[in-house]
């Protein structure tokens, strides 16, 4: 079961645009838009839009503490 989930994540990651894949990696466990933006070299507004898109598409979800975590597949 663990391997199947990992394979599904890999497939989903392959279809992401490169900048979204970078934002996804940086957002996992991060607690601020600014931190993610700095890690990927995007503006705060571009990063906020990317995070919103990733959340809307089910790749990440907000944590109770205000950060993000990857969605379980």
Output the pTM of the full model.
0.74
pLDDT (tens, 9 = 90+) of the chain, 73 residues, equals: 556 655 555 545 456 889 899 999 999 888 899 999 999 999 999 999 999 999 999 999 988 887 888 887 5
Angle, vertex CA 45, rays to CA 30 and CA 9, nearest 5: 45
pLDDT for res 68: 87
The answer to whether the beta carbons of residues 23 and 51 sit under 8 Å apart is yes
Closest CA to 15 of 70, 57, 62, 69: 57
d(CA 31, CA 54): 15
pLDDT for res 45: 96
pLDDT for res 17: 87
pLDDT for res 12: 53
């Amino acid at each position: 079961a663990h391997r199947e989930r990992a394979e599904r994540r890999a497939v989903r990651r392959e279809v992401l645009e490169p900048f979204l894949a970078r934002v996804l990696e940086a957002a996992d466990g991060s607690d601020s838009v600014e931190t993610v933006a700095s890690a990927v070299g995007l503006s705060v507004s571009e990063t906020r839009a990317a995070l919103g898109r990733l959340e809307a598409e089910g790749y990440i979800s907000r944590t109770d503490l205000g950060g993000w975590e990857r969605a379980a597949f």
